[in-house]
Amino acid sequence: MSASQTGTPHSAAPDPAADGPMTARIRTLLEAAFAPTEITVVDESEQHRGHAGYQEGGESHFAVRLRSSAFEGRSRIARHRAVHSALGPEVMTAIHALALDLDTPARRD
């Protein structure tokens, strides 16, 4: 499993250089579109081995946690649509699953 994180919190996040190309591409596109205060992109593909959409080598199933002021005043659906738009059809058709945890910086879990 590969993860990269910027912003807060700064807890022992793996080195982004260890990310696969799709993980890095997702992070780069989302950072450019939303200037997040927090972003975590996790390749969860290995957890789906043997399931539909699994690709040998991974990079088919992702979980993203993103905190950005760009989400202020937007509904959950609008936030998801904005992320899908930022990733574009090239990324969205190349991956099988994308779990999104999107909120503003003011909200803390």
Question: For 33-67, what is each residue's pLDDT tens digit?
Answer: 999 999 999 998 866 566 665 566 667 889 999 99
**Structure-token pair, residue 64:** 């993203």
Question: For 54-108, what is each residue's pLDDT tens digit?
Answer: 566 667 889 999 999 999 999 999 999 999 999 999 999 999 899 999 999 986 5
